[in-house]
Each structure stands twice: as structure tokens, then as C-alpha cells.
A and B are shown apart, each in its own frame.
Chain A
Amino acid sequence: QSVLTQPPSVSAAPGQKVTISCSGSSSNIGNNYVSWYQQLPGTAPKLLIYETNKRPSGIPDRFSGSKSGTSATLGITGLQTGDEADYYCGTWDSSLSASVFGTGTKVTVL
């Protein structure tokens, strides 16, 4: 049972924008950086965003991250068919003394 809540699915047409929310609490998102991971079908997750809004080398600027209070958001602009994947947020929970993941969101390109 995850402590971070994400919508099960989001969808949009190619070229459009989607946002994925990640809702937590003061013991996790409220006081820690947030990371985002992309998991393409049948593969291991891949780091997409770290320190809430930074992109690793090789990740296009179509992907962005932000945070407000105890919620974080991943944005994907210029949606492409290759973006169809599951997306997870992650952070540290100081009450649990454990890393935690969001429930995951499936992105569908219509």
C-alpha cells in the first residue's frame, strides 16, 4: 500500500500535453526532493526527473517536474507514441525511514 497517490491513467493525442500528479504528505514529498521514473512495457524503470525538477543527461526537455507543498507533478509536452509507459514518482519518507513510490500512472497516446 503506497503512501504516494497517483491517478491510474492519463491520455492525450500526439503532440498534446499531459500532467501526472503525485500526492503525499509532510513526511515525504513535503520535505524531500521527488524523482520520477518511466517504465516502458517489459523493461526496468528509468530515471526521468531527479531533485524534483532536474533532467538527467539524455532526457528531452519535453519532460518536466515541479512540486507544491505535499504534491508533485510530472509534465510531458509534445506527446509521442514512444511515451506510452507507466510513470512512477518516488521520494524518501522520514516517518517510515524508507524510500517510497507512487501507485503509478499509465500514459496512453490516443
Chain B
Amino acid sequence: QVQLQESGPGLVKPSQTLSLTCTVSGGSVSSGSYYWSWIRQPAGKGLEWIGRVYTRGSTNYNPSLKSRLTVSRDTSKNQFSLKLSSVTAADTAVYYCAREREWEPTIDYWGQGTLVTVSS
């Protein structure tokens, strides 16, 4: 059973960089046919796919966030991370880490989510 747990600051100041880490257990960020992904959800709104890193290290990003976004993995810690720069209040949301299947577009495991608020 794969488990994912998000961690990071719950409050980030405008113009700064939002950084989150997802720790994976029961699976490996460096093997298998899976992507390790980030999704966010502003309060009362829908899901927005942010980006992902493949087990071999390649990445895909949401075009609307690409200029501010870095998703990477740390194989030694079995973690993957999200860095979103130049944040504004519009980046306030619950951020989920998740696992996506490589062979078909399905997210089969989700973290519980962590609320990140952008405010001074």
C-alpha cells in the first residue's frame, strides 16, 4: 500500500518561493512506471494539476505555472518536491502529492493534502 505525506510551511509571504516535500512509503520514486505528481485545490474550488516527475527524472508541468515551477525527486530519501516561485494570494490552496500511472492517465494514490496560505 503506497502512502504519501506532504510537508512544508503552511504560510508563505507574497513574492517568495513555496516549497513542499512529499515523503513516499510503500513505493519508490526511482523505480516502476509511475509519475510523482502535485495537484492543488483552492478553497471551495476544483482540482488543478500542477506538475510531475517521472521515476527516470523527466518532468511535465502545467503550462500556466511552468515559468515558476520546479518538481524534482530525491531518490536517497524517497521523496519528491515542489518549488513554486513568486507566489501570490492566488496560490493559496490545499496542495496534494500523488502517484500517477505512466501507462494511462490515472492518479491512484493521493496524500492527505496540506494547506498553504500566501499572506504577509
How far does the alpha carbon of A43 sit from the alpha carbon of B49 in the complex, in Å?
A: 17
Decide: A46 and B49 in contact? CB cutoff 8 A: no
Q: Is B96 an interface residue (CB 8 A)?
A: yes
Q: Which of A14-22, A74-82, A89-97 contacts B (4 or more CB under 8 A)?
A: A89-97
In the assembled complex, the CB of B94 is this many whole angstroms from the nearest CB of chain A, namely 9
Minimum CB–CB distance for A5 against chain B, Å: 11
Contact across chains for A45 and B47 when beta carbons are under 8 A apart: yes
**Residue B26 at the chain A interface, CB threshold 8 Å:** no
Other-chain contact of A45, B62, B104, B105, B110 (Cβ < 8 Å): B110
A33 at the interface (CB under 8 A from B): yes
**Of B37, B61, B105, most A-chain CB atoms within 10 Å:** B105
Per-residue CB contact flags for chain A residues 67-103 toward chain B (1 = under 8 Å, else 0) read 0000000000000000000001011100011111111
Bound complex: CA of A35 vs CA of B107, how far in Å?
Answer: 8
Is A50 in contact with B104, judged by CB distance below 8 angstroms? Answer: yes
How would residues 72 to 108 of chain B score, 1 for a CB under 8 Å from any chain A CB and 0 otherwise? 0000000000000000000000001000110011111
Contact B105 A35 (CB under 8 A): yes
CB neighbours (8 Å) of B100 from chain A are 99
* CB–CB A90/B108 < 8 A: no
A103: chain B residues at CB < 8 Å are: 46
Residues of B near A44 (CB, < 8 A) are 96, 110-113
Question: Judging by beta carbons under 8 Å apart, are A98 and B48 in contact?
Answer: no
Do A97 and B60 have beta carbons less than 8 Å apart? yes
A47 CB, min distance to chain B CBs, angstroms: 5
Chain A residues contacting B61 (CB-CB under 8 Å) are 98
List the A side residues contacting B106 at CB < 8 Å.
33, 35, 47, 50-51, 90
Let me know if B104 and A47 touch, CB within 8 A: no
Residues of chain A lying within 8 A (CB to CB) of residue B47: 37, 45, 88, 90, 101, 104
A60 CB–B CB distance under 8 Å: no
Query: A27 near B: Cβ within 8 Å?
Result: no
Q: Is the CB of B108 within 8 A of A98?
A: no
Interface residues of B (CB under 8 A from A): 37, 39, 46-49, 52, 60-63, 96, 100-101, 104-108, 110-113
